[in-house]
Structure 1
Amino acid sequence: MLADTQTAYNLAVRQGETFYQEFQWAFEGTTPVNLTSMTSRGQIRSSASHAGVICAITIAIIDAANGIFALKLTAAETKSIPTTGDAYDEAETYVYDVEFTDSAGAVYRVLQGYVTVSPEVTK
């Protein structure tokens, strides 16, 4: 699924499952941003002010010229995200953001929001 980036976009992650979602970064929703010379990073934390990183998000550039990238987490990474629920609907909620840095050093927060992680039943 390809989703346009916006100020807030919430993610749903299933613990123990591979997570993959594509996005397109477009200026004012119409003109794709060229990602060719940019670097990126993303993190999941329990809160924005919390010092500890729950999980780093892998960002893969899919089509740099058209601003398309993907957020990726392996099954092992999602399995390591703590949950306290006993059923799939007793999910844990975290926060995340994704930033890109251009060659001049300007940083752009492209995505941000909540990450809801439902607990894995099959171990």
Structure 2
Amino acid sequence: MVPKRSAEKTVREIKRRIHREYSAEEKIRIIFDGLRDETSIAELCRREGIHQNIYYKWSRDFLEAGKKRLGGDTMRETNTKIRQENMHLKQLMADIALKHFNKKYKTVVKNLPSPRNWMKSVHIDFSVIYE
């Protein structure tokens, strides 16, 4: 006697099959299979377990991405702009850090005793230095 599966397990298995995630490589393979015209789109979709609307959506998205890539409208332009903006922001941060450092340095130097006064405080004989 074969043990019965619970209804929950059956429903989970059906949902898992229905909501399967396809990788980009799998989608491209399916699209190329459809473009070869060896089988009908309906047969291909049945074999892959997808609805025809999904196939046509993937195909349309794939072709649109190809058009954009060939037309030069790609993420490269966006990446270039982002890199330029990033470099500009880094330069601004460096300028701010340098200004802050200079301000602190001037304050520290201003509060230091002069070298002549410092030498007097440690009892250095200036006659030896200036001979």
TM-score (norm: length of structure 2): 0.23
Q: Which structure ranks higher in relative contact order (CA pairs < 8 Å, sequence separation ≥ 6)?
A: 1
Task: Name the structure with the higher helix share.
Answer: 2
Q: Mark the structure with the bigger radius of gyration.
A: 2
Higher strand share: 1
Taking structure 1 as the reference length, the TM-score comes to 0.24
